[in-house]
Amino acid sequence: MSTLITVSGTAAPERAPAPHDLPDPEVVERIRAGESALFEVLVRRHNRRLFRAVWSILLDEEEAEDVIQDAYVRAFRNLHRFEGRAAFSTWLVRIAVHEASARRRKRRRQVSLEAIEPAARERVVAAAVEAPASAEDRAHHRELRGVLLRAIAALPEEYRQVFVLREVERLSHREIARALGVSVAASKVRHFRAKRRLRRQLERLTGAAAGELLPFAGARCERVVAGVMGRLGTA
């Protein structure tokens, strides 16, 4: 395929890709070369991943937003240290995790689930499928995500971090290991244990409400009783 575009009989070079279409390493190199404004491309590209990684440690939306800003500033100031041996996103996550862990040590307290604003719950755990169309289905969808988020928040931090990065952000265990500074084996073990605990937690949460599903009383019950007894000839 030709890389030239002919305009009025004159061959013109193909237009260079826009910055937001460039891979991370190329954007980083251009920033290092002096185009500091391009750092916005990286911020927009990785905001969601960093937010989720930090939330998995702090369980607080506002604090997570504050921390990822600190992480971006630190990353920008240390771009010269990025050697490209791991993905840039993994390098960013590692910085964000370090910042979040430092913040947590400073406050020396565990944020309760109730401190998480409802809006944050909607943004932290992405839906596995597109949101349903009807209002009723959307409400049910939100309830399910709320149950899942409560279960994730109840996990021990080291399991929660791995679960969010693996199941929500789809990082490989090698990437997670590099981001968290643990071995690949440790990442796999934590992931397995997180899923096992999460399964138990979801069973507990859903089991408590199972008795309220499909109630069978009132007019429906009376109709069935009357129908059965009528067919048996005893009504």
Is the predicted pLDDT of residue 37 greater than 70, yes or no?
yes
Chain-wide mean pLDDT for the chain? 78
Task: Report d(CA 109, CA 119) in Å as an integer.
Answer: 22
Return the pLDDT at 192. Answer: 94
**Which of the following CATH numbers is that of domain 19-124: 1.10.10.10, 3.40.50.1820, 1.10.1740.10, 1.20.1250.20?**
1.10.1740.10
**Which of the following CATH numbers is that of domain 146-208: 3.30.390.30, 2.70.98.60, 1.10.10.10, 3.40.50.300?**
1.10.10.10
End-to-end CA distance of the chain: 83
Is the predicted pLDDT of residue 128 greater than 60, yes or no?
no
Q: pLDDT by residue (tens digit) across 11-26?
A: 555 677 887 889 999 9
Q: Give the position of tokens 């992480």.
A: 71
User: Where are the domain boundaries for CATH 1.10.1740.10 in the chain?
Assistant: 19-124
Return the pLDDT at 11. Answer: 54
Return the pLDDT at 145. Answer: 75
Return the pLDDT at 14. Answer: 66
Q: pLDDT by residue (tens digit) across 205-233?
A: 766 544 444 445 566 566 766 777 677 66
